[in-house]
């Protein structure tokens, strides 16, 4: 019995030694090494948003496992070049004051000649553009200041500012929604060549100039390496196009020589129109609102106030929920058979009867083409006529005030009826004239543009207050669509 126990013990020891000597050393194919543990790290905001790389290294236990994750693009990575005229500066600087954030933004206002300043007015520094008299300009309809303006990106680049990812161009009457500009530019790799902007609303403008051109008043962005490449060749390029009209078509000509096409973002708005922007703003495309332009040409976006006062009112919802500003929602009051369109932060419309979303999402023709003799076929997008049927004329409610309810984390915006005469209607249905105010509840969603584009849904809520309609706006629920 003792010999049997001894034999089994020796066999066990020999077998164990053989197993240990034949095992492979740990290497990167070991399923239990650090690289395979990456997926088990806590996905906090620092990790997902590319924040503090040291924190990530500490979590992983090794700084060599991942390359440094780049910081997410922010306002500090953008430099603005603003084209301004000394003759119009005293008036137009008020537009810049509305959106400029001195402690968060960098940029230069480029003027044609020196002006007397009044100290710190909360605007970017003023500089005088370089002399362009050596360049030829032969367009009889334009002005040679176009050459000066076209060189603003290059002149801003030469200032040698650090940590720049994007140069953004705009006019002194261009209003930027800065947070939405960041959202748009963050989608693109700033290390690559990008020329980002949008077209004119006028089909004829796009034909005369180019459908591949970013219109300068609507604003456009150039990535840093593209600005460097432009700077190296722009002066030679400008000499080759003395007959072009403006600065933006000169810029596009140079982009074409560099082989860089326009990347279109519909939130940059040139607004080559006259009249009332209501139809365009109430049916804004499903994309972030980035810029508004030609504000001296069109009527104030809110009635019965000045242009600057109207924009000041727009700043209230912009600060509460910039991502949702002007975004349209379409729903139906089934009891009254009304169609309701909410342009959040701007206006609400109530229509008698049922209109399809396909109709309501088209801008109504409250504006005129840049070429006054052109009709509605001269737009670069679909429009719908202002109805002639008195019963189908919408009741319009403009945003009067907005706030954030911290207890529910919802914005509460109030829209007051625009009191204009409505022709008598013989339809046997409830008259929206009894609604004096519309209150809209909406939860801010700063990450809505990180998802695939989709219009928000709205729902009519029961209201106990006479003359008031309550509406809830938010991300569409599972299976929810705009139907009656």
Please check whether residues 335 and 263 belong to one and the same domain: no
Q: Is the pLDDT assigned to residue 232 strictly greater than 50?
A: yes
Q: What is the pLDDT of residues 155-185, one digit of tens each?
A: 999 999 999 999 999 999 999 999 999 999 9
Q: Is the pLDDT assigned to residue 35 strictly greater than 90?
A: no
- H or E stretch covering 377: none
* Mean pLDDT for the stretch of residues 199-223: 96
Highest-scoring range by mean pLDDT, 19-23, 62-66, 129-133: 129-133
Q: Is the pLDDT assigned to residue 393 strictly greater than 90?
A: yes
pLDDT at 131: 95
Whether 136 maps to a domain, the answer reads yes
Domains: count for the chain: 2
Q: Which one of 209, 241, 270 terminates a domain? A: 270
Whether 450 maps to a domain, the answer reads yes
Q: What is the pLDDT of residues 377-388, one digit of tens each?
A: 999 999 999 888
Whether 405 maps to a domain, the answer reads yes
Q: Give me the domain span that covers residue 158.
A: 75-270
Whether 135 maps to a domain, the answer reads yes
* Mean pLDDT for the stretch of residues 233-249: 97
Whether 172 maps to a domain, the answer reads yes
Please check whether residues 100 and 223 belong to one and the same domain: yes
Whether 335 maps to a domain, the answer reads yes
Total-model pTM = 0.85
Q: Which residues pair with 78 in a beta bridge?
A: 166
CB-based contact 365:279 (threshold 8 Å): yes
Please check whether residues 93 and 169 belong to one and the same domain: yes
Work out the pLDDT band at 55, boundaries 50, 70, 90: very low
With b for 16 or more beta-carbon neighbours within 10 A and e for fewer, the 55-93 pattern comes to ebeeebeeeeeeeeeeeebeeebbbbbbbbbeeebeebb
pLDDT at 159: 97
Written as six digits, the tokens of 75 are 């306002």
Q: Which one of 229, 255, 270 terminates a domain? A: 270
From start to end of 60-210, where are the E strands? 78-83, 106-111, 126-128, 166-171, 175-176, 195-197
Question: In this structure, what DSSP letter does residue 287 have?
Answer: S
Mean pLDDT estimate for the chain: 89
Q: Is the pLDDT assigned to residue 48 strictly greater than 60?
A: no
pLDDT at 15: 56
Whether 230 maps to a domain, the answer reads yes
Whether 284 maps to a domain, the answer reads no
Percent of the chain residues past pLDDT 90, beyond the cut: 80
């Amino acid at each position: 019995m003792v010999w049997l126990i001894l034999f089994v013990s020796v066999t066990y020891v020999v077998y164990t030694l053989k197993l240990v000597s034949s095992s492979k050393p740990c290497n990167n194919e070991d399923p239990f090494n650090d690289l395979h543990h990456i997926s088990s790290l806590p996905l906090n905001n620092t990790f997902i948003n590319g924040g503090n790389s040291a924190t990530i290294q500490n979590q992983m236990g090794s700084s060599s496992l991942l390359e440094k994750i780049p910081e997410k693009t922010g306002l500090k990575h953008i430099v603005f070049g603003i084209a301004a005229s000394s003759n119009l500066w005293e008036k137009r600087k008020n537009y810049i004051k509305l959106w400029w954030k001195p402690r968060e933004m960098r940029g230069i206002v480029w003027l044609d000649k020196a002006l007397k300043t009044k100290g710190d007015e909360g605007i970017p520094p003023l500089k005088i553009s370089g002399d362009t008299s050596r360049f030829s300009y032969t367009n009889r309809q334009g002005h040679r200041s176009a050459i000066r303006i076209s060189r603003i990106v290059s002149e801003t680049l030469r200032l040698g500012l650090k940590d720049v990812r994007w140069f953004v161009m705009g006019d002194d009457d261009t209003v930027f929604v800065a947070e939405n500009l960041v959202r748009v530019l963050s989608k693109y790799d700033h290390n690559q060549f990008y020329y980002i902007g949008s077209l004119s609303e006028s089909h004829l403008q796009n034909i005369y100039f180019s459908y591949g051109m970013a219109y300068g008043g609507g604003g456009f962005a150039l990535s840093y390496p593209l600005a460097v490449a432009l700077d190296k060749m722009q002066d030679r390029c400008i000499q080759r196009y003395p007959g072009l009209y403006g600065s933006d078509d000169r810029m596009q000509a140079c982009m074409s020589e560099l082989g860089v096409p326009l990347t279109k973002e519909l939130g940059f708005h040139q607004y080559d129109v006259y009249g009332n922007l209501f139809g365009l703003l109430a049916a804004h495309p499903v994309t972030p609102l980035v810029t508004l332009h030609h504000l001296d040409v069109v009527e104030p976006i809110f009635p019965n106030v000045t242009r600057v006062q109207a924009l000041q009112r727009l700043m209230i919802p912009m600060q509460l929920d910039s991502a949702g500003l002007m975004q349209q929602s379409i729903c139906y009051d089934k009891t009254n058979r009304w169609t309701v369109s909410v342009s959040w932060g701007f206006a609400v419309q109530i229509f008698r009867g049922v209109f399809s979303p396909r109709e309501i999402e088209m801008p109504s023709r409250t504006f005129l083409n840049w070429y006054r003799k052109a009709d509605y076929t001269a737009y670069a997008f679909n429009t719908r006529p202002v109805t002639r049927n008195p019963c189908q004329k919408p009741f319009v409610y403009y945003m009067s005030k907005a706030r954030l309810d911290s207890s529910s984390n919802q914005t509460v915006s109030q829209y007051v009826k625009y009191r204009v005469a409505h022709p008598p209607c013989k339809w046997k249905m409830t008259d929206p004239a009894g609604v004096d105010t519309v209150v809209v509840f909406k939860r801010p969603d700063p990450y809505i543009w990180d998802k695939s584009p989709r219009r928000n849904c709205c729902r009519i809520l029961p209201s106990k207050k006479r003359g008031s309609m309550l509406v809830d706006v938010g991300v569409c629920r599972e299976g929810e669509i705009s139907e009656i």
